[in-house]
Structures are given as structure tokens and as C-alpha cells.
Amino acid sequence: MNAQLSVNQAEQQIIDEALKNRIIEFESGSAVLAASGTQILDEMAVALNKVGGKKVKIIGHTDSSGDAAKNLVLSKERAVAVKNYLINKSIAAERLSVEGLGSNKPVADNATADGRKKNRRIEFDVI
């Protein structure tokens, strides 16, 4: 079990390195990927190929602006948009799962524009 865990950690590092703490951006209030977001995802597709057949969960997050229930839906729609983009880059659909967490796990202060921007993010977890 521990050997498996360390393999996943190594593969998680490859995925994290591809993301490099950058934010995959979307058009405001929508699940439409911004051009900068697709650029990062092109690099992510390369990284996903490096981790072989590992399954990866794509987790969508939003800031706390607006209705919490709508944010939950939006976060999942954004994760699905990322999944679909990666499938179009020849990543096998069965390797990708999605989850939307809305504004439930902020990494920055939602009181500032910069903080909200950081909270609108996609995370990739090797599972």
C-alpha cells in the first residue's frame, strides 16, 4: 500500500508541476475556458500522458460571489469543461472523473479581487 502511495505522490508532482500554481481561467460566470486556460491544459495533457494510465480527478472551485447552489453547479460544469477539453487532446475519458466543490474550499480571501481569482480554480488529483 505504501509503495502505491509513493507512486501516486510522484505522479501527483508531475501533475502539480504542469499546473505550476497557475489558474485555469474561465470567462466570468461561465464554464467557457479562457485562452490562457486552454494553453495550460495543453501542457496538462502532456503531463497526463507522463503518468500513464493513472486516473485523475478534476475538481472545480469557485469564489464565494453569488448563490452558493449555483456556484456548486458552475464548479462542476467547469470541471466537466476541462475533462472534455482533455478528452479532445486524446486523454482517455475513463481516466478522468469530475467533482464540483463550489466555494467550499477557498485558498485565499474572498474579500479581495485577487483572492476571488485564486479561488476560481481547477485542481487535479491523481487517484
Q: Quick check: 93 pLDDT over 60?
A: yes
Are 76 and 60 in contact, with CB atoms under 8 Å apart? yes
Are 118 and 43 in contact, with CB atoms under 8 Å apart? no
Over the stretch 100-113, which tens digit does the pLDDT of each residue have? 999 999 999 999 99
Q: What angle do CA 106, 50, 74 make, to 5 degrees?
A: 30
Over the stretch 40-55, which tens digit does the pLDDT of each residue have? 999 999 999 998 889 9
Domains and CATH numbers, the chain: 2-126 (3.30.1330.60)
Over the stretch 21-31, which tens digit does the pLDDT of each residue have? 888 988 778 89
Are 42 and 51 in contact, with CB atoms under 8 Å apart? no
Rounded distance between C-alpha atoms, residue 84 and residue 52, angstroms: 19
Q: What pTM, to 2 d.p., does this model score?
A: 0.90
